[in-house]
Each structure stands twice: as structure tokens, then as C-alpha cells.
Amino acid sequence: MKNPILKIIVLNLIFIIFSCSNSSTHGEKNTAQIPVKWYGITDGMDKARKEGKSIIMYFYTDWCVYCKKMENQIFSDPDIAAFMNEKYISIKINPERDRETIAVMGQNLTPSQFMGQIGASGFPTTMFWDKKQKPLTVLPGYTEKDTFLSVISYIDDECYAKNIPLDSYIKDKSACGKK
């Protein structure tokens, strides 16, 4: 796949399929020893650039039930929080309040404008950026722990660059050359 837009579209479709297929709810609540370290837009983008890390950009609102569920069950999970803190710079954005602009692809956009540009129409929305600060894909809605951990591992291992399908990676991490 030489076309980067086609690659983003394919990744989006894969993530949508997996997020929808794993949408069962569990009443579990986990409290992390160390919470996810969240940054604002400018500080997070600068830190990611300096440290050469990928970015997780999480769009939420205060009234969103599934945003609260993501925060209480996914981002508070010790395994996920530790992995995100080690491998990513995490940026948390409330488009209804945050007015800081996002500089991407030669444009400065408000969070609401940016969400419109990427086709995100609901909350929560999680966006992934590579280490060169290029947008990779968007994961819409709530995602179960195992699927979310697989997605962040898949992106960290850069399996998308090797054209390894996410479902192949989930079944066998060695498909991407990892153990």
C-alpha cells in the first residue's frame, strides 16, 4: 500500500471492526498504581517531538457516559496506564472547552475543527500519531481492555508499516516479528 491515505482508511476500518465486535460491558473497575500522564495539546506535541514518541490523542466530553467508562475501566487499568506512560505521550482534549490549536498538515485547527477534519463525530474518540507526528488512525467509541491493549501494542510495534493486519497481530504477535 503506497498511498498513505488508503493506509489510514484501511487502518480505520480495521479498528472500527474490532471496536464494534468487542463492545460487551463488564462491571469491572480497576485503579492504577500510576495513572496515565495526560498533557495538553502544545506541551504534549512538544514533548513527543523531543522524546521521539508516538501520541495518543483522546477526545472526550464531561457529559459522555462512554468517556467516563474509558477513563474508569481502560485508562485506569495498571497495564494500560504503564504501557501508555512508557511508550506514548498521551494528550487529553475536551473539544467543548479546550481552545488550544492543533498544528497538523500545515493547518492550525481547534479541537472541534480537527475532529471534523478526521471524520470523528462522537465521543470518546482516540487518535493515534506516529513518532514523526503524522496521524495514523482513529479509534471511535469505547474499546474493551484487551482490544485497546492490542491496538496500542500494534501501533508501538509499528506493524502497520509492515502491512500486518491488526487481526493477524492479535492472533499471533510474532506475525510482526515480536515475541
> What does the pLDDT average to over 101-116?
82
pLDDT value of position 116: 86
Q: Identify each DSSP E strand in 23-86 by its residue range.
A: 38-39, 54-59
CATH number at residue 150: 3.40.30.10
Q: Coil, strand, or helix at residue 64?
A: coil
pLDDT band at 68 (very low <50, low <70, confident <90, very high): very high
56-78 as b/e, with b when 16 or more CB fall inside 10 Å? bbbbbeeebebbeebbebbbbbe
Q: How do residues 32-67 score in pLDDT, each as one tens digit?
A: 367 999 999 889 999 999 999 999 999 999 999 999
Q: How do residues 84-96 score in pLDDT, each as one tens digit?
A: 999 999 999 999 8
Number of folded domains that form the chain? 1
Report percent pLDDT > 70 for the chain: 80
- What torsion, rounded to 10 degrees, do the Cα atoms 161, 150, 6, 110 define? -110
Is 168 a residue whose pLDDT tops 70? Answer: yes
Are 59 and 127 in contact, with CB atoms under 8 Å apart?
Answer: yes
* Cβ neighbours of residue 33 closer than 8 Å, sequence gap 6 or more: 78
123-155 as b/e, with b when 16 or more CB fall inside 10 Å? bbbbbbbbeeeebbbbbbbbbbbebbbbbbbbb
pLDDT value of position 170: 86
Whole-model pTM: value is 0.77
Q: Which domain holds residue 36?
A: 4-176
Residue 7 grid coordinates: 493506509
Q: How do residues 109-161 score in pLDDT, each as one tens digit?
A: 888 888 888 888 899 999 999 999 889 999 999 999 999 999 999 999 999 99
